[in-house]
Chains A and B, each alone.
Chain A
Amino acid sequence: MASVAKEWREIPGRYNLQGTKCENCGKIYFPSRSFCPKCRRDSIGKMTPVKLDRKGFVYTFSVVHEAPDCNNRQKPYAVVMVKTSDDILLSGQLVDVEPENIEIGMPVRAVLRKLDADGPAGIIHYGFKFVPDY
């Protein structure tokens, strides 16, 4: 069972899609990085928080039928890689759509949803999932 701190410190990324932008080269990273892997030393002190655009389109997807216990009650569920309007690739679940209606290129947006729970008395994990954006 995860500690509260483990959940709490990731809130900016998980809830608000906050990443970092390298002000040296302009590249956006998600999740946050403390320096830019391309600019390295030149990026130190120049990484600023940035919220990703919540809108994008499905780059690729899969419908998961076999998964560990933590996701079992939701099976089958869809997962997607989404290319956001900032040209960032993100992975997450796609909900509120029938699996047979998912296709590459469909517009989606990120929303805050419950991801999982550590049993009846444990932490409830929240984070972003994607929904169709018609």
Chain B
Amino acid sequence: MRDVAIIGVGATKFGELWNKSFRSLGIEAGMKAIEDANLSGDEIDGLFIGNMSAGRFINQQHVDALIADYSGMVTNHIPATRVEAGGASGGVAFREAVMAVASGIHNTVMVGGAEKMTDLDDASINSVMDATADAEWEAGMGITLASNYAMIARRMIHDHIATREEIAAVSVNSHFHGALNPGAQFRKAVPIETVLKSGAVATPLGMFDCAPISDGAAAIILCPLEEAKKHTDSYVKVSAVAQASDTLALFQRDCITEFKATQAAAARAYEMAGITARDINVAEIHDDYTVAGIMAMQDLGIYKTGEAGKAFLNEETHFDAGNVAVNTSGGLKARGYPIGAAGVAQIVELTEQLRNSAEVRQVKDAKYGLAQSAGGNGSAVTVSILEVI
């Protein structure tokens, strides 16, 4: 197995991008990444795309072919593969691409993530999201994805793992960083009262506990580490790509206040990278709902159970606090959550941080970056670790 490097990244702005289509978003992100990697495009021999549900959002299946076509890749007839794993689609696409380069089957690969959500009405979008839970035994019974996270939050408060305020602080942290990211959907810091008083979605969670509906795309170029220098001086090493699964339905687990899939993927990732949770300097975590942010930081082993919420509330997670900086991009909550793009955009942010190009939100002296991407209620989780080399 070869070591793999990231030699270029690019992302569109995330948001309600009424004037941009699915294909134009994908192309914009891809072109930025190719330019960033100093490539012509001809070097790319494989394409992996994270996309959750173009079939339901824009009535387009077969987006592998669509992206390959409109990115100009079909002239060389390179293979294009679309990956779906609910909210973890982007994270899994990244892992598949890294494995393809590591194995030697591919050499220079583009990973794209894209989702165009706002062409559909809100109620239908909710129904697509809920289909990432168990469609038969959860969504079909009236359980929404948000209500599953809300039930986790309720139990977490009951079991004294986190307070309502600590859970809300995850959103405050993401908005704090979103204000510093020109590509974020929401560029405004919010006080905790705004989160606590926001309209109910599924009690105890309100609108400010939930990531928004977004359009957007992100892209990454990978190549073998030993060839990275040929293209650019600013590259980072992919030290680990791990993935784990769990039951589709939340109610089938012994414990609902932790995600075993995050724990399993994290353990594998730390082993692959030869580090521990203590070595992580900057983390991008899947805060599609605030409570998921608390779980992520605990399941990753960065904080002990009962401690993550305090860290968010005490602003220890800020980019300049000197601890593990969390969601410096604004996270899913403030940067935006175009589903298939989210896991790829996390890697884009970590790359920016590790090569010191994150501008006003730059984390000082970061060596290791970690991304956690989750599908449904933690039914598929990827944990990736990037390293300054």
Contacts and interface: CB of A to CB of B under 8 A. Distances in A.
Interface in B258-305: none
Contacts of B61: none
A124 B141 CA distance: 13
Interface in B88-134: 123-124, 126-127, 130
Interface of A: 10, 13, 29, 31, 59-72, 74, 76-77, 79-81, 89-93, 99, 104, 115-116, 125, 127
A99 B204 CA distance: 12
Contact of A60 (B126, B130, B151): B151
Contacts of A89: 251-253
Nearest to B151: A60
B143 interface: yes
A115 B141 contact: yes
B136 A31 contact: yes
Given A81-B256, A89-B251, A91-B249, A64 B147 contact: yes
B123 A93 contact: no
B154 A61 contact: yes
Given A81-B256, A91-B249, A104-B158, A64 B141 contact: no
B251 A104 contact: no
The 8 A-B pairs of least Cβ separation, nearest first, read A68-B127, A62-B150, A60-B155, A60-B151, A91-B251, A63-B203, A62-B147, A65-B200
Secondary structure at the B interface, as helix, strand, loop or mixed, is helix
A79 B146 CA distance: 11
A108 to B, nearest CB: 14
Nearest to A33: B252
Given A60-B154, A60-B256, A66 B144 contact: yes
B137 A91 contact: yes
B251 A81 contact: yes
B288 to A, nearest CB: 14
Given A60-B151, A60-B158, A91-B137, A68 B250 contact: no
Nearest to B153: A62
A133 to B, nearest CB: 19
B72 interface: no
A115 B142 CA distance: 8
B55 interface: no
Contacts of A64: 142, 144, 146-147, 201-202
Contacts of B144: 64, 66-68, 79
A76 B142 CA distance: 11
